[in-house]
Amino acid sequence: MRIAMVSEHASPLAAVGGVDAGGQNVHVDSLARALARAGHEVTVHTRRDSADLPATVRTADGVTVEHLDAGPPRPLPKDELLPYVGQLSAGLAARFAADRPDVVHAHFWMSGLASLAATRGLDLPVVQTFHALGVTKRRFQGRQDSSPPVRIRMERALARDVDRVLATSTDEVSELLRIGGVRTRIAVVPSGVDVEQFNPEGPVAEKGGRPRVLSVGRLVPRKGFDTVVRALAAVPDAELVIAGGPAADGLAADEEAQRLLRLAERFGVADRVRLIGAVPRPDMPALLRSADLVVCTPWYEPFGIVPLEAMACGVPVVASAVGGFLDTVVDGATGTLVPPRRPDRLAAAMRKLLSEPFWREAYGTAGVDRARSRYSWERIAAGTLAVYDDVLGAGAPAPTGEEADELTAGTVA
């Protein structure tokens, strides 16, 4: 099968850990490689964000990454890319007309808009993975939401017009139905984890004598690192290591990093909180293995791959009972779920598990089994291919894509 993936801001070649480089980059990269290993021809189309990038890059796993001109060839925040969707769509249309794929898989809402407009008249099915929904982001971030105002309306249109929507969690299915998605066109295909890279065996990062609590993610407020810092005050002796954000030498200029360090001072735990900055992907398994607990406490999380990576390494997880965590973390079996923004409940869960090595080991063993049996990328690729096959066999009519055409023509304010 010839598969075209569109991921306008999240290149599979990007270094993970920046403001707009996280779980979507890992998802697109890992899914594309798994599909290529299964014998399919995969091309990922992404926006050129550097003048030095070649037109195409061929990865070791046989995935082709194509850089399309859409806006200035420099890094831009994803919420500033909407004016360039038309250019991206034109580039895609030219590529699809010259080298037709069997299916187009769009990642994120602006990729969906560009894909619908690019495939108009070509009778190509479009599959959509949102990775995050504007309505959810608006609910939790309110005035801090920097998304373009048109986002929610465009996502409603996409949910109706694409051939299939791949939700990454059961929680997202509910959100999609609330914005008008058609249940028969929604399938749940989660993100996954590289169980060869993330496993209990292998190097372990150095640590001191204190129990280690590890939190990993982009340094943005919604990830809830402040909740862990506050909880640490009620968890004697444990250290908190926070990995993510810029490189270690850039933390002094990072607003969120400095906010967390000031909070640690305020709660009297500054000597037990350490921010280490971005960690290269190859070094992440060793860091996870060094933890006694991995704690993930965002306010909301569409999916979230960190708990899966921790589980695959045999480390128990304490996570907020939100979004995709409700599917991946089995409360009382692979970890503990707690309400978001409740340092008291988080501290109690951390104290309990840190004091019970037997249950930490039991949770870790169950986590490995769950990650391998349900969330390997081979399994996720198989589920994705089943949706592609269904779409190609269903003969569904091409979507109208009227809203996408309006936008790419520049008529939507």
Q: How far apart are CA 411 and CA 320, in angstroms?
A: 41
Domain assignment present for 203: no
Q: What is the pTM of this model?
A: 0.88
Q: Which two tokens stand for residue 266?
A: 């305020």
Q: How far apart are CA 256 and CA 35, in angstroms?
A: 37
Domain assignment present for 301: yes
pLDDT band at 303 (very low <50, low <70, confident <90, very high): confident
3-state SS string for the chain: CEEEEECCCCCCCCCCCCCCCCHHHHHHHHHHHHHHHCCCEEEEEEECCCCCCCCEEECCCCCEEEEECCCCCCCCCHHHCHHHHHHHHHHHHHHHHHCCCCEEEEECHHHHHHHHHHHCCCCCCEEEECCCCHHHHHHHHHHHCCCCCCHHHHHHHHHHHCCEEEECCHHHHHHHHHCCCCHHHEEECCCCECCCCCCCCCCCCCCCCCCEEEEECCCCHHHCHHHHHHHHCCCCCCEEEEECCCCHHHHHHCHHHHHHHHHHHHCCCHHHEEEEECCCHHHHHHHHHCCCEEEECCCCCCCCCHHHHHHHCCCCEEEECCCCHHHHCCECCCEEEECCCCHHHHHHHHHHHHCCHHHHHHHHHHHHHHHHHHCEHHHHHHHHHHHHHHHHHHCCCCCCCHHHHHHHCCCCC
Same domain, 268 and 186: no
Same domain, 84 and 53: yes
Residues sharing a CB contact under 8 Å with residue 159, sequence separation 6 or more, in sequence order: 128, 165, 176, 179, 180, 181, 182
Residue 408 has pLDDT above 70, yes or no: no
Predicted confidence at residue 409, as pLDDT, reads 56
Residue 149 has pLDDT above 50, yes or no: yes
Same domain, 186 and 258: no
Same domain, 244 and 368: yes
Predicted confidence at residue 145, as pLDDT, reads 82
Say what percent of the chain tops pLDDT 70.
93
The mean-pLDDT minimum among 57-71, 135-149, 339-353 falls in 135-149
Domain assignment present for 25: yes
Per-residue model confidence as pLDDT tens digits over 89-137? 999 999 999 999 999 999 999 999 999 999 999 999 999 999 989 998 8
346-361: buried (b, 16+ CB within 10 Å) or exposed (e) per residue?
A: bbbbbeebbeeeeebe
Predicted confidence at residue 396, as pLDDT, reads 45
Same domain, 369 and 381: no
How high does pLDDT run on average in the chain?
92
Range of the domain at 367: 212-374
Same domain, 323 and 178: no
Domain assignment present for 164: yes
The position carrying tokens 């769950």 is 370
Q: What is the mean pLDDT of residues 270-286?
A: 96
CATH code of 134's domain: 3.40.50.2000
Domain assignment present for 389: yes
Predicted confidence at residue 399, as pLDDT, reads 45
Q: What is the mean pLDDT of residues 70-95?
A: 95
Q: What is the mean pLDDT of residues 160-183?
A: 94
Domain assignment present for 201: no
Residue 319 has pLDDT above 50, yes or no: yes
Same domain, 232 and 92: no
Domain assignment present for 138: yes
The position carrying tokens 């295909």 is 189
How many domains, the chain?
2
Predicted confidence at residue 412, as pLDDT, reads 40
Which pairing describes strands 126-129 and 41-47: parallel, antiparallel, or unpaired?
unpaired
Say what percent of the chain tops pLDDT 90.
85
Q: What is the mean pLDDT of residues 351-368?
A: 97
Same domain, 314 and 353: yes
Residue 187 has pLDDT above 70, yes or no: yes
Same domain, 366 and 384: no
Q: How far apart are CA 245 and CA 400, in angstroms?
A: 41
Domain assignment present for 202: no
Q: Please name the amino acid found at residue 338.
A: V
Q: Which two tokens stand for residue 6?
A: 């569109």
Same domain, 260 and 152: no
Predicted confidence at residue 143, as pLDDT, reads 81
Residue 22 has pLDDT above 80, yes or no: no
> Kindly report the CA angle at 295 between 220 and 328, in degrees rounded to 5?
100
pLDDT band at 406 (very low <50, low <70, confident <90, very high): low
